[in-house]
Amino acid sequence: MPEFEILAIMMLVGFFLLLMIGVPVAITLATVGFVFGAIGFGPGLFNLLPARLFGVATGYQWLAIPLFIFMGVMLEKSRLADDLLDVMGHLAGRLRGGMAVGIVLFGVLMGAMTGIVGATVITLGLLTLPTLIKRGYDKSMACGVICASGTLGQIIPPSLILILLSDIMQMSVGTLFAAAVGPGVLLALVYIVYILFMGWLKPDMMPPISQEERDSVTRKQLWIRFVKVVVPPVLLVVSVLGSIVGGIAAPTEAASMGALGSIVVTIVSRRFTWDVLRNVVRDTTKITAMMMFILMCAQVFALSFRGLHGEDLITDMFATLPGGVNTAIWFMLLLIFVLGFFVEWIEISYIAVPLFLPVMLAHGVDPVWLAMLITINLQSSFLTPPFGWALFYLKGVAPPEVTTRDIYKGVVPFIAMQGLTLVLVFFFPQIATWLPKAIGW
């Protein structure tokens, strides 16, 4: 084996060793990149680095990230979610499992409005978990629904995963947003069908809201609250995403209107204060800085790995797999799934996807379809123990009677449903590709 490829293997091994001992991922990426790049080529390799970092810092497409984060954090900090969840719970609460269905629908809306998993899971955990348990819901089922619904924002536009993948795969953000609509809706429907089936199969697991509680709010009052609470943020999301998918505005332009619109919605709902704005700006800056720092450190890793012919190593590895390109795709998806047990989605995106992408494109794989498979797969990283962040978020706000075992047990069926959705999108690519083709992307 050539010396460079041996160094590329050592580089990957060193990366995972540093991650396992707790070194932050950005520092890990930069460290192994500098060390092994210098061993292989000397400092001359990094003469290209300033141009790469300048390209990242001045990339126009990255403006969408802080703007979408601002939009999401503003809607979360204004606590519109509290009223939104209450209204949807009452609308769906007459069914067995109706509250759980309402939580899934809430997860869809919050995913489209904020895309912030931590905010959605914590909100759902604080507002609904004690109530669900009091109403007789099985603890594991309640925990699973909350965790799974909170992660829907990772596939439903405007997902940060899709924005990052658009840069890694050199694709239009609007194309990926359009492609994600089908898989995102499908996943939510799979969750709802499962919940309704379990409500029919085991009625005691998810009882409906009591008649007394339903009578406490008249249907007229409920629909008035629906118009006031649900309609404005939904219109905001539809206008932002519709302008991108329809080609009316670029993602950065639509994101700026979304950020402004989130302020307007918060003012109209009488939730706006200067303290809220200050907190939103601070949190947006923190999240954006973290993502951009990882992105810049990933440039060091990518430059060294490519210089050490790491891409040739990956190509040779895939060439040894039986079964052709489909086997290669499932091998990649399996590796991403396993990485999700230990590594966050941002790191997986910047490590695994660039390694495998050239091989997939060389085999003629549709990049839009492939991006959706990767996105669905990455979503499971929030639910898989031991480091699924949705599990940690929920455990942090769960009542004392809810154990870690309840949470882990509850998410298992929903991980399986994510796998089912992945299989459906694999065998029926048109689920992901029909909308981009229909609108001419």
Of 381, 434, 366, 379, give the one whose Cα is nearest residue 181: 434
Q: What is the DSSP string of 236-272?
A: HHHHHHHHHHTTSS-HHHHHHHHHHHHHHHHHHTT--
pLDDT at 135: 76
Query: Are 133 and 402 in contact, with CB atoms under 8 Å apart?
Result: yes
Range with the poorest average pLDDT among 66-80, 191-205, 289-303, 392-406: 66-80
215 pLDDT tier (thresholds 50, 70, 90): low
Of 165, 149, 183, 162, give the one whose Cα is nearest residue 425: 183
pLDDT at 212: 66
Q: Is the pLDDT of residue 318 over 70?
A: no
Position 40, amino acid: G
Q: Is the pLDDT of residue 319 over 70?
A: no
pLDDT at 433: 92
How far apart are alpha carbons 261 and 258 in whole angstroms?
5
In angstroms, the first-to-last Cα distance of the chain is 43
Considering the chain, what is the average pLDDT of its residues? 81
pLDDT at 82: 62
Of 320, 227, 322, give the one whose Cα is nearest residue 269: 227
How far apart are alpha carbons 421 and 265 in whole angstroms?
34
Average pLDDT over residues 41-50: 78
Q: Is the pLDDT of residue 1 over 60?
A: no
Please tell me the pTM assigned to this model: 0.77
Q: Which residue has the tokens 């940690």?
A: 392
| Residue 295 neighbours by CB under 8 Å, 6+ apart | 56, 62, 350
Q: Does the CA dihedral 156-390-147-211 come out positive or negative?
A: negative
Range with the poorest average pLDDT among 22-36, 83-97, 406-420: 83-97
421 pLDDT tier (thresholds 50, 70, 90): very high
How far apart are alpha carbons 29 and 98 in whole angstroms?
45
Q: Is the pLDDT of residue 265 over 60?
A: yes
Most confident option among 144-153, 218-227, 423-432: 423-432
Position 143, amino acid: C
Range with the poorest average pLDDT among 179-188, 208-217, 318-327: 208-217
- At residue 398, the 3 state secondary structure works out as coil
28 pLDDT tier (thresholds 50, 70, 90): confident
Of 99, 12, 27, give the one whose Cα is nearest residue 290: 27
How far apart are alpha carbons 174 and 253 in whole angstroms?
12
pLDDT at 162: 87
How far apart are alpha carbons 180 and 433 in whole angstroms?
9
- At residue 155, the 3 state secondary structure works out as coil
Range with the poorest average pLDDT among 181-195, 212-226, 368-382: 212-226
More confident residue, 41 or 118: 41
pLDDT at 76: 67
More confident residue, 386 or 252: 252
More confident residue, 238 or 176: 176
Q: What percent of the chain has pLDDT over 70?
A: 86
Q: Is the pLDDT of residue 393 over 60?
A: yes
pLDDT at 119: 65
